[in-house]
């Protein structure tokens, strides 16, 4: 664990995250809360990805969880004070933080997934829970927004998985369901050895189609009255949809490099999404 006395929110603006551009659309209090939340998520994830031996990473994550519980449950002042303040201010359930840690624990104990149902649980834990925490900070009226956050989280994580197949293979991880690899005439070793083939492209098209289905499910759970509240999430959605399209355009050449969007593209998507939602709200308020 870091020797810093509290979570460092500056981790967020210093990161190259696709989420960063949308965070600056928030009012100051909510933006600072999101930065604290993101710092927690990022540092939890970093435990799984550091270079320490597996046993030490597992011990590190267990200690991280124990310290979190001390602060949330036993009210012992420690590293997580600022996170607890955010959780209390915006009524974020403690269980969401535990679910995220369970998702990161899966990264340490599970290097592959038998079926999409198994993978979906992982996506829920590492991504949907973050969305569910974020919507409490954004604010909303319609409870359907929880389903929006869950589906969007899965869509974003599936997009990450598609983009990062080569990077994850380098770490010995395969996030493509085993039964689907088999269906397309492939196995885990093909992915770990970074074998690019027509079968691989067909498999990845299937994965991309599923991701798009989850983006669509998310859209169906977003009432027009909540679009302004979910502006940050909608920016994230549009950035990741563009990223998915770019991976498709490159015919899933994900083994040799990590496909990404440049800063001007992300800025353009942010401004376009903001303008579109602002215009829709204005038109919705005008008398017919």
**Helix (H), strand (E), coil (C) string for 8-60:** CCCHHHHCCCCCHHHHCCCCHHHHHHHHHHHHHHHHHHHHHHCCCCHHHHHHH
Q: What is the DSSP letter of 230?
A: T
> Rounded to an integer, what distance in angstroms lies between the CA atom of residue 58 and that of residue 52?
10
Q: What is the pLDDT of residue 281?
A: 79
Q: Which residue has the tokens 């340490």?
A: 108
The alpha carbon of residue 213 and the mean position of all alpha carbons in its chain are separated, in whole angstroms, by: 17
Closest CA to 270 of 17, 2, 20: 20
Q: What is the pLDDT of residue 192?
A: 98
Q: What is the DSSP letter of 225?
A: G
Q: What is the pLDDT along the chain (288 residues), one digit of tens a residue?
A: 443 456 666 655 554 566 676 788 899 999 999 999 999 999 999 999 898 999 999 999 999 999 999 999 999 999 999 999 999 999 999 999 999 999 999 999 999 999 999 999 999 999 999 999 999 999 999 999 999 999 999 999 999 999 999 999 999 999 999 999 999 999 999 999 999 999 999 999 999 999 999 999 999 999 999 999 999 999 999 999 999 999 999 999 999 999 999 999 999 999 999 999 989 877 876 544
Closest CA to 138 of 56, 233, 55, 212: 233
The alpha carbon of residue 235 and the mean position of all alpha carbons in its chain are separated, in whole angstroms, by: 13
The structure tokens listed for 261 are 């969007």
CB distance 165 to 255 below 8 Å: yes
The alpha carbon of residue 32 and the mean position of all alpha carbons in its chain are separated, in whole angstroms, by: 19
The structure tokens listed for 9 are 């929110």
Q: What is the pLDDT of residue 18?
A: 63
> Rounded to an integer, what distance in angstroms lies between the CA atom of residue 154 and that of residue 30?
24
Q: What is the pLDDT of residue 288?
A: 44
Q: What is the pLDDT of residue 231?
A: 95
Q: What is the DSSP letter of 229?
A: T
At residue 119, what are phi and psi to the nearest 5 degrees? -65, -35
Q: What is the pLDDT of residue 83?
A: 97
Vertex 212: Cα angle to 206 and 213 (nearest 5): 90
Q: What is the pLDDT of residue 10?
A: 60
> Rounded to an integer, what distance in angstroms lies between the CA atom of residue 246 and that of residue 163?
10
Q: Top-level CATH class of 11-276?
A: mainly alpha
> Rounded to an integer, what distance in angstroms lies between the CA atom of residue 150 and that of residue 129?
7
| CA-to-CA separations, 257 to 80, 193, 196, 247, 253, in angstroms, rounded | 36, 15, 13, 11, 7
Q: Is 3 exposed, middle or buried, given 0-12, 13-18 or 19+ CB atoms closer than 10 A?
A: exposed
> Rounded to an integer, what distance in angstroms lies between the CA atom of residue 210 and that of residue 159?
10
> Rounded to an integer, what distance in angstroms lies between the CA atom of residue 26 and that of residue 231?
9
The alpha carbon of residue 144 and the mean position of all alpha carbons in its chain are separated, in whole angstroms, by: 19
Q: What is the pLDDT of residue 104?
A: 97
Q: What is the pLDDT of residue 4?
A: 46
């Amino acid at each position: 664990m870091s020797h810093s006395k509290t979570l460092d929110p500056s981790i967020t603006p210093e990161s190259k995250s696709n989420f960063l551009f949308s965070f600056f659309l928030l009012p100051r209090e909510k933006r600072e809360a999101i930065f604290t939340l993101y710092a927690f998520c990022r540092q939890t994830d970093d435990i799984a990805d550091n270079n320490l031996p597996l046993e030490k990473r597992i011990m590190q994550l267990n200690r991280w969880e124990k310290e979190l519980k001390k602060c949330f449950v036993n009210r012992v002042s420690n590293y997580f004070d600022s996170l607890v303040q955010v959780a209390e201010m915006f009524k974020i359930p403690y269980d969401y933080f535990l679910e995220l840690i369970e998702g990161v624990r899966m990264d340490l104990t599970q290097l592959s997934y038998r079926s999409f149902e198994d993978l979906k649980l992982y996506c829920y834990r590492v991504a949907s829970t973050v969305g569910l925490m974020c919507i409490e900070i954004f604010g909303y009226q319609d409870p359907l927004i929880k389903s929006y956050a869950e589906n969007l989280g899965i869509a974003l994580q599936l997009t990450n998985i598609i983009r990062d197949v080569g990077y994850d293979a380098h770490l010995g991880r395969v996030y493509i369901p085993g039964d689907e690899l088999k269906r397309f005439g492939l196995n885990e070793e093909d992915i770990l050895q970074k074998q690019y083939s027509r079968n691989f492209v067909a498999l990845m098209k299937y994965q991309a189609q599923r991701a798009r289905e989850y983006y669509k499910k998310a859209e169906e759970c977003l009432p027009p009255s909540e679009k302004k509240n979910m502006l940050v999430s909608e920016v994230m959605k549009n950035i990741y949809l563009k990223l998915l399209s770019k991976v498709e355009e490159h015919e899933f050449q994900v083994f040799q490099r990590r496909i990404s969007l440049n800063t001007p593209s992300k800025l353009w998507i942010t401004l376009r999404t903001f303008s579109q939602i602002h215009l829709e709200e204005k038109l919705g308020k005008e008398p017919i």
